[in-house]
Amino acid sequence: MKKLIPLLIAFTCLHLSAAAAEPALTGRAAELFRKAQGGRWFADAAKLKPDFVPTSDGQSFLVVWRAVPEPKRWIVSLHGTQGFATDDLALWHPHVKGREVGLVCVQWWLGAGDRTDAYYAPQQLYREIDAALQKLGVQSGTAMLHGFSRGSANSYAVAALDAGRGRRYFSLAVANSGGVGLDYPPTRAIVNGAFGPRPLQGTRWITVAGGRDPNPDRDGIPGMRRAAAWLKEQGATVVTAIEDPQEGHGALHRSAKHARTVLDVFLNAKP
Domains and CATH numbers, the chain: 29-268 (3.40.50.1820)
- How large is the average pLDDT for residues 7-36? 66
* pLDDT above 60 for 2: no
> What's the pTM?
0.91
pLDDT on residue 15: 38
b/e map of 197-225 (b: 16 or more CB within 10 Å)? Answer: ebbbeebbbbbbbbeebeebebbbbbbbb
- CB atoms near residue 8 (< 10 Å): 10
Q: What is the pLDDT of residues 75-90, one digit of tens each?
A: 999 999 999 999 999 9
Q: What is the pLDDT of residues 191-210, one digit of tens each?
A: 999 999 999 999 999 999 99
